[in-house]
Chains A and B, each alone.
Chain A
Amino acid sequence: MNAYLEITNLTKRYGAACALAGVSLSVECGATLAVLGPNGAGKSTLFGCLLGLTAPSSGAILLGGRPVADADRISFGYVAERVALYPQRTVDENAVFFARLKGWPVGEAKRQLNRVGMHLVGERKVRHLSKGMLQRLGLAIALCGQPELLVLDEPFNGLDPALFDKLQSILREESARGATLLISTHTMSAVEPLATHVAILLQGRLAAFGRVDDLRAEHRVNDSLESIYHQIARRGRTTEEAFA
């Protein structure tokens, strides 16, 4: 396997609470990994560690065989669960600022705004944007500069059907381009057509990880991703209860 991203024994503790407990997984180049799990399972913490926002208590995150550095993250794109931008600045100004921080020219920001359909509201202040528009702007910023790795934290939350389809098609294009995608979501139907791999986190532990087809075969279900998830989550709960 050609491991592009390798996470080894990643643990994150907040005092006595353990947000991530020895998570290990590796992601191939161009794969799309769906990170599933209930609220508080550690999905955002996992992304936080990868993006350098949270320092892991132990473990390692390797990109192309070496530890991830700040400079590597220039080639990452990140859409937060709650997109937060500079409210007093316009759409254009926000996009251009973040594009230029990554070393890309104004034209690249405009191109991505056009791609997500935000070019018509370029002069609008961010504080006047709806949630869907904010989500699109966040996506445009993440897409600037053809990122190698796209990290999307709950990107499908609160989107209307048209935007939902648009986001899916953009992510499909990015995947076809060769980008590696990490998507955490509760909307499993949204990520099912995209995901090549699945990681299921339960209470900070990696309950399952592998190719979608392999997991289907392993759990003897030809059903949806949601069925696999529920089966593993149920088993996970049983195991936790047994240990308790």
Chain B
Amino acid sequence: MKADAALVVTPCPLKATVSAATRCGAAHQRRASFVTQTWLIASKEFGDRFRSGWVIACVLVWLGAIGLTSFLGLLQIGQIGVQGYERTVISLLNLVQYLVPLLGLLLGHDLIVSENEERTLRLVLAGGVSRTRFLIGKLFGGCLTLGVPLLLGFIIAGAVIGVATKDAGMASFLRLAVSGLVLGLTFLGVGLAISVLCRTRVQSLVVALLTWCFAVFVFDLIALGCFVSTKAPAAAQEIEFVCDATHVHLAADIHSEFDNVADGPTRATTTSRAASLGWLAANPIDLFRAINLSDQMEIQVPVFTTLLTVILWSAGTLGLSIWQLRRTDL
């Protein structure tokens, strides 16, 4: 009745109708909240990847990798069979540090650029979804797409290893799973930033692969070179020890325990090592390595360094993505 009265007193019937629509709009704006919109975008992203087979393929690859590594990890010393958690972790470390950042980058690199190239981004944004919400939704969807297969792989493989070996000390395996997941999500954020910064999918893919090469291979060499050239012996020793893949293997050479070799890998002095691990924040892969080799290398990565690295990388890449997308003309 009240609405009818409003219609009667409004001089312009068209205006009255539009006013009614505005009231209706105000009501449904409350329903199209931040959570609703970001969840819709995230679930669509996950659904699309699931349908494309990405999620299933990722689970299978991951399960296969963990299973094979655990089963054949001691092949070189003539042992075949499922190994315990600690040995599996050491064998898996290289695989995780190479494969997980690559998966994160491959997943993240086309999150935005593909929508931009196919022009669906225009329709979504024109429909009242802010760029920040869209980005967060896509990132969340990407996290689900990467996180679900990684977690499933770790859980299933962890259960199988536990049942097969009756090994109860799964702390190192849990640490690997959690740090591997965080490593993947960090690189997903990097991939998202690349996706926003690039104009085409091809460009984005190339940049993502170069980033992976840099983070996995080049960074350690550059860091080592810098420290050696600046004659910082303690730091150089530390970097060499933590970063260099060969030394990592030596330090973590579990096979030496089986070989009983007297002149096994000599370990560099570890004095005051923990105090100067702040530089690890520059590359999450190094941090991941240091966290998972802390027992073998007798170092303790400070929790503060770990948290700071994760927060800085996550906030930095998301902030960069939001800043860039907000100033992009579509």
Q: Which residues of A contact B (CB under 8 A)?
A: 2, 4, 29-30, 48, 51-55, 64, 70-76, 78, 80, 82, 84-89, 97-98, 100-104, 138, 141, 145-148, 151, 177-180
Contact = CB atoms under 8 A, between A and B. Distances in A.
A45 to B, nearest CB: 9
Contacts of A80: 119, 122-123, 126
B4 interface: no
16 contacts: A2-B15, A70-B128, A70-B130, A71-B128, A74-B127, A75-B21, A76-B127, A76-B128, A78-B127, A86-B48, A87-B118, A100-B36, A101-B40, A102-B32, A102-B127, A147-B21
A84 B123 contact: yes
B21 A97 contact: no
A151 B123 CA distance: 12
A98 B14 contact: no
Given A55-B327, A103-B29, A104-B28, A78 B128 contact: no
Interface of B (DSSP majority class):
helix
Given A146-B21, A177-B17, A52 B126 contact: yes
Given A101-B127, A103-B31, A178-B17, A54 B330 contact: yes
A51 B24 CA distance: 20
A116 B156 CA distance: 49
Contacts of A74: 25, 28-29, 32, 127-128
Contacts of A147: 21
B32 A73 contact: no
B119 A2 contact: no
B314 interface: no
B44 interface: yes
Contact of A178 (B18, B48, B124, B129): B18
A30 B15 CA distance: 7
Residue with the greatest number of chain A CB neighbours at <10 A, chosen from B20, B31, B123, B124: B123
Contacts of A178: 13-18, 20-21
Contacts of B20: 178
B68 interface: no
B329 A101 contact: no
A97 B36 CA distance: 11
| A-B pairs with lowest CB-CB distance, top 7 | A178-B17, A103-B32, A30-B14, A74-B128, A84-B119, A103-B31, A73-B128
Given A55-B327, A70-B128, A84-B118, A146 B24 contact: yes
Contact of A30 (B18, B31, B48, B123): B18
Nearest to B33: A103
A48 B127 contact: no
B24 A97 contact: no
Contact of A55 (B48, B126, B329): B329
B203 interface: no
A84 B25 CA distance: 25
Nearest to B26: A75
Contacts of A148: 18, 21-22, 25
B305 interface: no
B44 A97 contact: yes
Contacts of A78: 123, 126-127
B25 to A, nearest CB: 4
Given A138-B123, A145-B25, 5 more contacts: A30-B18, A73-B127, A74-B25, A75-B21, A141-B123
